[in-house]
Chains A and B, each alone.
Chain A
């Protein structure tokens, strides 16, 4: 008993150590790059920290950005546990946004009760994302098509499709920009902290957390998912229907990404608009991996990356550092964690 506890503590300490080191190193390296670009890294990071965590509005913004990461990240944690490489969260999120907008345009203000209308919209968004994810899953289950390429290609298709919709059929006739009509108040996800933009979507994402945890750890499907990820051959030998499990994984993963889309459109933008995503679907891949496909890990990393996205925005406004610094930071952290983890395991074997 003591040895297992000791081992767990030691391995957690190692993990925390690796993460802390990688994060610090990443900030350092990027700080140097900022300096080489002719900007002051101290000022940049000052704005970063202040906006990300030290003001009420800033904290709200961090959580606002964490929300889609959390939704998508949970979905991807499910997929990655089974080693189903769903790289299409971005497209599934877009399709969730598209389908829910379609429904919203039909519904408009016919239903005055926001709880009912928003619940319906969320359901449609979930279905939209799930559908977009099922397509490549079917191709994989029936034809063995590599899901990395297929889900990825569909990302581009979904984004282009949305661009078409807001340029053409759904464009607000009175607007110059390519966006849809602004949704009526009854379709807005309510703000939960006045003075910020933090909306109910965040709470919904939090609510998904225990559900996903229960699913993965305690349900039969969760067992099948984990078994599939450990060894596809052994899973098949054990009687698990790989095709059917893959489809279920895709549905959940895509559906959650779809919810992220609804959350952004009905909680932040209040209209369908191109570019509503800061690459959340792709970032969520990093979130899921760094969170080790564990629901709690995903939560922590989502918030942390939400802070980086928010801070990156602040760095641009305050210090003139391009916003793409967020992407570079996050990618660097992941790369360093991956490398350091393997280095540690490598050294342990010698």
Chain B
């Protein structure tokens, strides 16, 4: 039984699935990376992903187009990102509490809207799941080809953004501005960098990416379920932390989770004596272990603190 685990077929399907499973985490983490690098903790990712998943599904059902569904989710994500930005940057509400409040509000709202509009029908409406798109020459490479280059569009988007965002963050002036704003906003301000605007842009970006991450969840399978997000928003935040706020490390983290999740599903077939619920705890437990083990040095110094020009007034 166990030797079936080590066949090439098993490993390739596992890795293919891992890449797919990692994608929503990666998309969301990429956005949150920028947000946190600029100093703002967006705690509502779990809620924004849920909103994105529902919006993509609903828009796709009503218009028949996954593309429109996707863009609607992006718009919703942007709007929610703007909301988070306004409350945390301009109003300076406690970032953690507003994040939690939004998660609860959004999860409730999404559940409410989903059951209200779709829940009544016995047969769940489904949309066309995302198709795999094979990249012409690369997909023919013997082992790696099908694994890496026969995925759906959003997978390519997520992974191709990693080097782009990495370059942006570490090699461009803009990236430097973002990092400066997150480390020492008052110094950045005296240099003429608009702290507020930079943060706004980064937080809206985190909202957009979380919306995309959520959209992926529903579009990948073609339907929506309440609690579909299942903690991925939080795991994305964790990935940022133990990925040291770097896109490449975040990708590694996301892949680790993707691997675990894919593994846990498949291994149930072999070790069916281990109850599947216990296996499902793996990603969550590993997140905690990863956090415990990664001795991160704290991240952007100004993370979580609202910026007030002229110093904090009590």
A interface residues, Cβ below 8 angstroms from B: 33, 37-39, 85, 87, 136, 139, 143, 145-146, 148-150, 152-154, 156-157, 160-161, 163-164, 167-168, 282-283, 285-286, 289, 321-322, 324-332, 334-335, 338-339, 341-343, 346, 349
Q: Which 8 A-B pairs have the closest CB atoms?
A: A327-B108, A331-B105, A324-B111, A328-B108, A322-B115, A342-B91, A37-B116, A331-B104
Tell me which of B119, B285, B287 contacts A322 (CB under 8 A).
B119
Give the distance to chain A from B282, nearest Cβ to Cβ, in Å: 9
Alpha-carbon distance A150/B290, docked complex (angstroms): 10
Which A residues lie within 8 Å of B237 (CB)?
Answer: 149
Alpha-carbon distance A191/B288, docked complex (angstroms): 41
The answer to whether A146 touches B291 (Cβ under 8 A) is yes
Within 8 A of A (CB), among B84-106: 87, 91-94, 96-98, 100-106
Alpha-carbon distance A96/B115, docked complex (angstroms): 31
Residue contacts A-B, CB under 8 angstroms, 6 given: A136-B288, A145-B291, A145-B292, A153-B288, A330-B104, A342-B91
Which A residues lie within 8 Å of B288 (CB)?
Answer: 136, 139, 145, 149-150, 153-154
B234 interface hit (Cβ, 8 Å):
yes
Render B138-162 as a binary contact track against A, CB cut-off 8 A, 1 for contact. Answer: 0000000000000000000000000
The answer to whether B108 touches A334 (Cβ under 8 A) is no
Tell which of B12-20, B193-201, B247-255, B272-280 binds the partner.
B272-280
Within 8 A of A (CB), among B173-208: none
* Known contacts A146-B241, A325-B108; A153 and B96 CB within 8 A of each other: no
Tell me which of A157, A163, A282, A339 contacts B285 (CB under 8 A).
A157
Q: Is the interface of B mostly helix, strand, loop or mixed?
A: helix
B313 interface hit (Cβ, 8 Å):
yes
B271 interface hit (Cβ, 8 Å):
no
Which A residues lie within 8 Å of B102 (CB)?
Answer: 331, 335
Alpha-carbon distance A255/B101, docked complex (angstroms): 24
The answer to whether B119 touches A334 (Cβ under 8 A) is no
The answer to whether B87 touches A327 (Cβ under 8 A) is no
Alpha-carbon distance A327/B47, docked complex (angstroms): 12
| CB closest chain-A residue, reference B104 | A331
* Known contacts A330-B104, A331-B106; A161 and B111 CB within 8 A of each other: no
Tell me which of A87, A321, A326 contacts B108 (CB under 8 A).
A326
Alpha-carbon distance A73/B69, docked complex (angstroms): 39
Q: Is the interface of A mostly helix, strand, loop or mixed?
A: helix
The answer to whether B275 touches A168 (Cβ under 8 A) is yes
Give the distance to chain A from B250, nearest Cβ to Cβ, in Å: 15
B170 interface hit (Cβ, 8 Å):
no
The answer to whether B91 touches A152 (Cβ under 8 A) is no
Interface size of B as a range: 35 or more
The answer to whether A161 touches B91 (Cβ under 8 A) is no
Alpha-carbon distance A167/B291, docked complex (angstroms): 31
* Known contacts A331-B102, A349-B313; A152 and B108 CB within 8 A of each other: no
The answer to whether A164 touches B104 (Cβ under 8 A) is no
Tell me which of A139, A146, A167, A342 contacts B275 (CB under 8 A).
A167
Tell me which of A146, A161, A324, A343 contacts B115 (CB under 8 A).
A324
The answer to whether A33 touches B234 (Cβ under 8 A) is no
Q: Most B CB atoms within 10 A — which of A164, A324, A338, A341?
A: A324
B172 interface hit (Cβ, 8 Å):
no
The answer to whether B101 touches A342 (Cβ under 8 A) is no
Which B residues lie within 8 Å of A327 (CB)?
Answer: 104-105, 107-109, 111-112
B65 interface hit (Cβ, 8 Å):
no
Give the distance to chain B from A295, nearest Cβ to Cβ, in Å: 19
Alpha-carbon distance A33/B111, docked complex (angstroms): 13
The answer to whether B234 touches A153 (Cβ under 8 A) is yes
Give the distance to chain B from A235, nearest Cβ to Cβ, in Å: 18
B284 interface hit (Cβ, 8 Å):
yes
The answer to whether B234 touches A334 (Cβ under 8 A) is no
Alpha-carbon distance A342/B280, docked complex (angstroms): 40
Alpha-carbon distance A328/B111, docked complex (angstroms): 9
Tell me which of A146, A286, A339 contacts B104 (CB under 8 A).
A286
The answer to whether A164 touches B277 (Cβ under 8 A) is yes
| CB closest chain-B residue, reference A164 | B277
Which B residues lie within 8 Å of A145 (CB)?
Answer: 288, 291-292
Tell me which of A143, A168, A324, A335 contacts B101 (CB under 8 A).
A335
B113 interface hit (Cβ, 8 Å):
yes
The answer to whether A160 touches B116 (Cβ under 8 A) is no
B29 interface hit (Cβ, 8 Å):
no
Contacts A160-B277, A328-B105, A334-B101 supplied; 15 other A-B pairs, CB < 8 Å:
A33-B109, A37-B117, A85-B96, A149-B291, A153-B231, A157-B284, A327-B105, A327-B109, A330-B105, A331-B101, A331-B106, A332-B105, A335-B98, A335-B101, A335-B102
Alpha-carbon distance A346/B87, docked complex (angstroms): 12
